[in-house]
Chains A and B, each alone.
Chain A
Amino acid sequence: MIRPEAPVLLEIRDLHASVADQPILHGVNLTIRAGEIHAVMGRNGSGKSTLSKLLAGHPAYTVTGGSVTYRGEDLLALAPELRARRGVFLGFQYPVEIPGVSNLEFLRVATNGRRLEQGAEELDTFAFEDLVRERLAVVQMDPAFLDRSVNEGFSGGEKKRNEILQMALLDPLVAILDETDSGLDIDALRIVAGGVNQLATPDNATLLITHYQRLLDVITPDYVHVMAAGRILRTGGKDLALELEDRGYDWVDAELAALESAPVEVG
């Protein structure tokens, strides 16, 4: 939902970043207000995954210019765990398997860290079990997954459901979902997308990173941004995604070529 008066949650200004001294982002500008759902689309290598990991604080990425402000605070100055506790959530494209660490215990520690930041009480084992069982319904997940090691031996779909379960527990203000649709069959996609829709409120915002239109058939974005060569090349409404579906990404190359001959401010 677009409300011009809604508070700005995330403000990205002229962001430049590199990984292993290789520049990847070349000036990204993006403003996200409460209640909005944004989709960033683009081909592999366009920088969209870099943007998502960088916002979560992945140590492999170095910011070389620009700023990111989260609710008035310099997000880039915060350690990854503090970003998470203050309400920035990254749903991973490839959720990590952690053998020997119980999913339930992991979810409880994570949830309590966030709750303390929100000024809520820590939940003991029993109270947490009640909460987690209630939230399992958001992604129609089998409680048996709570007793297993984090993501260990989970199928692709189960891992993505586990991501959305974490989102449901952590109650983020800005949720960045990196290719959450990849590797999902159509049923799993509906369940995961349904979870995201349930969790979207007028007070939080969602940034979907995706390659395909199909996720946007089930989650309707307010804004669609097309990313290429480390910048946002064009911004539009949900129709832009449909246009991309029709025309493919080839026109992007043409615009990029034009851009490189005569650089202009985009965003």
Chain B
Amino acid sequence: MAPLSMPTAVAAASSWGSELLLALESGPSPQPALAAARQRAARALADRPLPSRRQEAWRFTDIAPLLAITPAQLPPATTVPATLPSVTPGVVRLVLDGHGDPLAGGNLPAGIEAIPAADLEALLQETSTDRGEDRGANGASNHAAAAAGSEAPWSGLLAAATAGQILALRVRGAIEPTLELVSDAASAEGVLPLRLLLILEPEARLELLQVHRASAASLTTVLLEARLGAGARLSHGLIAQGGGAAVLLADLAVEQDPGSHYAFTSAVAGWALSRLEPRVLQSGGGATTRLRSLQRVDERQIADQHSQVRFEGPEGELDQLHKVIADGAGRSVFNGAVAVPRAAQRTDAVQLSRSLLLSDRARIDTKPQLEIVADDVKCAHGATVSRLQSEELFYLQSRGIAAANASRLLLRGYCGEVLRELPAAAAIWQPLAMVLAEEAPRP
């Protein structure tokens, strides 16, 4: 897209949001339990300016690719995209197209149930991101907003304001199969809004794999809210494979009770613009959080991750590793906020950001953001930006491995550190080939 002059850009930006909301009003009505929540979110969204580089949280992230998307909902998929790999044993797959009920015709694994409409409305009152700014009004706990510090991110609000369907599940006990949630905008153009709510009861265990794919000028916008009760364990993988002009915005708001364990591993590549916002709130401390992410940019792509972890009680743990491969004229942005207020004594938090710069035209912005008030804590962070190490390359060459293969081997090793933590069911999606944009080997 040709760069717009400033006044035109502003006009285009503000009209993009209102055009989208207008288009939705004339579209199909949302799932009844979601109607009120969606309306609130739409109002809040209308009051917010579109993100721009004048805002600190979007300083390095140009939303031009977003404005190039037609501001109208993606048409319903007539068939499940033929490009999806077949479902592997031990996996229950739900395909999300933003229109139909993903549970229609499918069976949920034992232990997982859809949350009934009446409960859902109450839950959305209580927890939803959609009220964003008016949470102070009724004083209700709003974990998503609290995790954000002051207000829900724009991406989550956008998803809440536009999603007409919500997949809301309650999980009890240890779930055997991996739950796979898949969206594929394929070559369709427009906006695909997705909203997910997961309640893990105390001691529940779930492996969740979220997959988003798109290959044309579409926006996939996702709001996932998850609550982990005491002792619950959620192993959460996200594979996001973009192509062409596709845009992904994902807001992942997770609230952990003490004694719970949350592990999130993401692999993102190929999007014109992607922004992932994992936001974890340890509401009483005492939980463990493990975050692993890998993003690759090439050509003129932008990949942005803004993560937030907040400890509101003592003895919480965080282990975070963010990795980047920046090639072509790609831009990578990482901002990792960790908040350790006075109540969070004996917090143990480690955050590491590692970036690999493969091109002189690529750009990497990485910023840890630790706010530590408690005095008895262990908090470490670090950031490195490097190139493929010439000594490593020479070592491999000196063993008969050609330079190109040696580079590939090193890159695979670099990615493997993150990818091996994806749920086992992720293998069918060939995340390594996706990240390295290689021809996938035949299974």
Contact = CB atoms under 8 A, between A and B. Distances in A.
B397 A106 contact: no
B392 A81 contact: no
B409 A109 contact: yes
Contacts of A81: 397-403, 406
Interface string B204-233: 000000000000000000000000000000
Given A80-B394, A98-B396, A109 B413 contact: no
B414 interface: yes
B410 A101 contact: yes
Given A59-B390, A106-B409, A98 B403 contact: no
A99 B397 CA distance: 16
A34 interface: no
A28 interface: no
Give the contact-size bracket for chain A. 20 to 34
Interface stretch (A4-12, A89-97, A219-227, A245-253): A89-97
Contacts of B409: 98, 101, 106, 109
Contacts of A56: 398
Mostly, the B contact residues are helix
Contacts of A90: 398
A99 B417 contact: yes
A84 B410 contact: no
A265 to B, nearest CB: 32
Give the contact-size bracket for chain B. 20 to 34
Specify which of A80, A96, A106, A109 lies most central, judged by the most chain B CB atoms within 10 Å of its CB. A80
A90 B400 CA distance: 11
Contact of A170 (B389, B390, B391, B399): B399
A95 B410 CA distance: 15
Given A81-B403, A106-B409, A109-B409, A100 B416 contact: yes
Contacts of A57: 394, 397-398
B369 interface: no
Given A85-B400, A110-B400, A99 B405 contact: no
Interface of B: 389-392, 394-403, 405-406, 409-410, 412-417
Interface of A: 56-59, 79-85, 89-90, 92, 95-96, 98-101, 106, 109-110, 113-114, 117, 149, 166, 170
